[in-house]
Amino acid sequence: MSYVAEKKPHAVLIPYPSQGHINPLFKLAKLLHFRGFHITFVNTEYNHKRLLKSRGQNSFDSLTDFTFETIPDGLTLMEGNGDFSQDISSLCQSIRKNFYQHFYELLAKLKDSAIYGHIPPVTCLVSDCFMPFTIQVAEELAFPILLFSPASASTFYSALHFRTLQDKGLIPLKGSNLWKEDTKCLEWLESKEPKSVVYVNFGSHAVLTPEQLVEFAWGLANSMKPFLWIIRPDLVIGGSSILSSKFKNEISDRGLIISWCPQERVLNHPSIGGFLTHCGWNSTTESICAGVPMLCWPYFFDQPTNCKYICDEWEIGIKIDTNVKREKVEKLINELMVGDKGKKMRQNVIELKKKADENTSSGGCSYINLDKVIKEVLLKQY
Residues 28 and 130 both lie in one domain: yes
**Residue finishing a domain among 95, 128, 150:** 150
Residues 337 and 227 both lie in one domain: yes
pLDDT value at position 175?
38
CB 379 within 8 Å of CB 3: yes
Residues 60 and 207 both lie in one domain: no
Helical H segments across the chain, by residue range:
19-34, 45-55, 76-79, 88-115, 133-141, 153-160, 162-168, 184-190, 210-223, 245-250, 263-267, 281-290, 303-308, 326-338, 340-360, 365-373
**Residue finishing a domain among 150, 176, 206:** 150
- The reply to whether 163 falls in a domain is no
Residues 142 and 196 both lie in one domain: no
- The reply to whether 275 falls in a domain is yes
- What three-state secondary structure class fits 23? helix
Contacts of 29 by beta carbon, 8 Å cutoff, 6+ apart:
11, 13, 39, 41, 66, 126
Residue tagged active-site, from 73, 128, 205, 302: 128
CA–CA distance, 331 with 351 (Å, rounded to integer): 26
Identify which of 371, 370, 382, 380 has the alpha carbon closest to the alpha carbon of residue 148. 370
Helical H segments across 81-235, by residue range:
88-115, 133-141, 153-160, 162-168, 184-190, 210-223
Residues 209 and 126 both lie in one domain: no
For residue 131, which amino acid is it? M
pLDDT value at position 159?
67
The number of domains in the chain is: 2
For this structure, is 278 an active site residue?
no
- The reply to whether 364 falls in a domain is no
CA 125 from centroid of its chain's CA atoms:
21
For this structure, is 61 an active site residue?
no
**Residue finishing a domain among 92, 127, 150:** 150
Residue 280 is part of which domain span? 184-358
Residues 207 and 324 both lie in one domain: yes
Phi, psi of 66 (to 5 degrees): -140, 105
CA–CA distance, 150 with 280 (Å, rounded to integer): 10
- The reply to whether 134 falls in a domain is yes
Residues 220 and 145 both lie in one domain: no
- The reply to whether 54 falls in a domain is yes
Helix, strand, coil abundance in the chain, percent, nearest 5: 50, 15, 35
Residue tagged active-site, from 10, 21, 33, 278: 21
- The reply to whether 376 falls in a domain is no
Residues 287 and 349 both lie in one domain: yes
Domain of 71, CATH number, reads 3.40.50.2000
> CB burial class (10 A; 0-12, 13-18, 19+) of residue 100?
middle
- The reply to whether 146 falls in a domain is yes
- What three-state secondary structure class fits 206? coil
Residues 222 and 338 both lie in one domain: yes
For residue 361, which amino acid is it? S
Query: Dihedral (C-alpha) 363, 365, 366, 369: value to the nearest 10 degrees?
Result: 100
Instruction: Provide the edge-to-edge strand list for the sheet that holds 38-44.
Output: 66-71, 38-44, 10-14, 124-128, 145-148
Residues 131 and 215 both lie in one domain: no
- Per run of 10 residues, the mean pLDDT along the chain (length 382 residues) is 62 89 91 93 87 73 84 66 67 85 91 82 92 92 91 74 63 53 90 96 88 94 96 81 88 92 94 95 94 93 90 96 94 96 96 94 91 88 70
What 8-state DSSP symbol labels residue 181?
P
- The reply to whether 172 falls in a domain is no
Beta bridge partners of 67: 40
Query: Dihedral (C-alpha) 119, 123, 129, 130: value to the nearest 10 degrees?
Result: 40
CA–CA distance, 155 with 303 (Å, rounded to integer): 9
Strand pairing class (227-230; 197-201): parallel
Residues 349 and 200 both lie in one domain: yes
Q: Radius of gyration over alpha carbons of the chain, in Å?
A: 22
Start-to-end C-alpha separation, the chain: 17
CB 314 within 8 Å of CB 296: no
Residues 146 and 203 both lie in one domain: no
